[in-house]
Amino acid sequence: MFMGIVASRYSEEDFLEYLPKNFIMGHIALLLSVICMMIAFGEAMFMILSHKWLPLYLPISFVGCLTMILFSRLQFPLLIEMFLSTYGRSMF
């Protein structure tokens, strides 16, 4: 989605609606894929560590989820700002 935005040619009118809409969809897809990846990571850690090394499961899962939390915390305000600037009050 992001490569399509960068590589394509757009007219001036596309910068007001088409490009922000594609950026929002790409950003939501990116955040959902990170969330799904962390769910798969947590399940894999649980299957591997649940029987033998259960005390290691929580710290490893916490460190893995911490990266997702930090990434989401950095990217979510950008998504909200793009959504509000595209669908919020118009500047015109």
Dist. CA 85–CA 80, nearest whole Å: 8
91 pLDDT band, cuts 50/70/90, is low
pTM over 0.85: no
Residue whose token pair is 């939390």: 69
Residue 69's Cβ-count burial label (10 Å; 0-12, 13-18, 19+) is exposed
* Structure confidence by residue, pLDDT tens digits, 40-81: 888 888 888 777 777 777 787 788 788 888 888 888 888 888
